[in-house]
Amino acid sequence: MGRHVLFALLLVGCSGGAEPVKPTRTGSDWPRLGGPNGDFSSPEKGILTKWPEKGLKKVWEARLGEGYAPPVVADGRLFHFDRFDDNATLTARNAETGKLLWKYQYPTEYEDSYGYEPGPRACPVVDGDHVYVHGVDGMLCCVSVADGKEVWKVDTKKVYHFHQNFFGVGSVPLVVGDLLIVPVGGSPKGPRPVDLRDAKGDGSCVVAFDKKAGAEKYKFGDDLASYSSPQFATFHGQKTVLYFARGGLIGFDPTTGNERFTFKYRAKSMESVNAANPVVVGDTILLTECYEKGAVLLRVTKEMKLETVWSDAENDRREKTLLGHWCTPVADGKHVYGCSGRHESEGDLRCVELATGKVTWVQPRTRRVTLTKIDGHLLCLAEDGTLTLVKLNPDKFETVAVWHEKDNDELRPPCWAPPVVARGLLYLRGKGKLACYELIPKKD
């Protein structure tokens, strides 16, 4: 009996889930991919623009497992999703101190066909009392925010028979009302085609689940999944979810799954992917990819039809406006800022006039970077670990501060997760480590 009591006490001590967490810092949370509005921008003000030579003040750090997903932050808790050994692991921490609160795990056997880390690509999503994760293997889980207990779980690969995409599952689900909208891209049962272009859909490109119980509410579409994530928008009073699927854009009614419009947009090569999220500005939608077509700006009419405003599709590669890979461009006023280039050596940062597609400036050889807009600036994290603060200026590239990777032993490459800012704290992920820095001084 004594051993059983001791074991129970150890379990309680490891979970730590009952510990209350109350934020002591003011500001906004970052509960999903792209922040509060999903557009990779933060409403917070008062950031430090004069950085010490060795970078911002580090608040805490934590060892991570394998994977590439950024963290998310809500109500004083930080959640990150990684793989440790053969377990996909969702971890909750105190966002201000890094203290471990609880862990949730499930076993995974995923192996990457291209030699990349076999951990998660998609970040968690926090909604009220629940946090959702979409594993690289297609496992979809709902977990209690308070204590990490499993609420429900669906093996989407088993249920919908999707073929393994090039780098596993990478789309982040979207909560709309009582639904969890998940890109699945299922196919009829059978072996994976050698050429994925030969794969067929079976009506489960997108699946909506009851977010509280995990039951399927609807499914639709014969396209395959991509590495883009669904986005919510309203056009002419009609609530719409956009998903840049493997074959192109799908717009649909989030309540019913009824299609509003589609737009075919994909490079011809087998290994091409659509990875950047659609960018919505007013009644326009910007799509971008880096393999062949580049960028296109679409306008949604009052009849919920799509009109092409301008397109890179017929331009020579050297004349493309924006060849966005996995970095979603950031909009500011009449311009968008984005990383252009498929490979590390050709990556550059660009500013584009949205209405015309005119490139107003190019900063070459920045490597591929992810972007977060905050307080009149862009936080630009290059894949080698260099962090640059850039002024939002459509007329010229204007560096405000820079923190080189050689001075930053926290950020071992590849740094592919975009910067996250919540309540004045900046969270950056490098290989095997998550570090928290003070970007906005705490107010007394």
Strands 179-183 and 174-176: antiparallel
Phi, psi of 379 (to 5 degrees): -90, 115
Listed by start position, the domains of the chain span 1-55+62-227
Q: Are 290 and 340 in contact (CB under 8 A)?
A: yes
pTM listed for this prediction: 0.94
Nearest to residue 369, comparing CAs of 358, 354, 384? 384
Q: Are 320 and 309 in contact (CB under 8 A)?
A: no
Would the pLDDT of 308 be above 90? yes
**425, amino acid identity:** L
| Alpha-carbon gap, residue 212 to 132, rounded angstroms | 11
| Alpha-carbon gap, residue 276 to 322, rounded angstroms | 12
CB count within 10 Å of CB 302 equals 10
Strands 369-374 and 41-42: parallel
pLDDT tens for residues 143-156?
A: 999 999 999 999 99
Tokens 């689900």, residue located: 173
Strands 348-353 and 359-363: antiparallel
| Alpha-carbon gap, residue 123 to 172, rounded angstroms | 6
pLDDT tens for residues 229-281?
A: 999 999 999 999 999 999 999 999 999 999 999 999 999 888 889 999 999 99
- Label residue 221 by pLDDT band (50, 70, 90): very high
- Please classify residue 61 by burial: count the beta carbons closer than 10 Å to its beta carbon, then call 0-12 exposed, 13-18 middle and 19+ buried: middle
Nearest to residue 331, comparing CAs of 295, 287, 399, 280? 280
Higher pLDDT, 247 or 367: 247
Determine the topology of domain 1-55+62-227 in CATH.
Answer: Lipocalin (2.40.128)
- Label residue 12 by pLDDT band (50, 70, 90): very low
Q: Which residues, in sequence order, are bridge partners of residue 41?
A: 373
- What is the pLDDT, as a whole number, of residue 19? 67
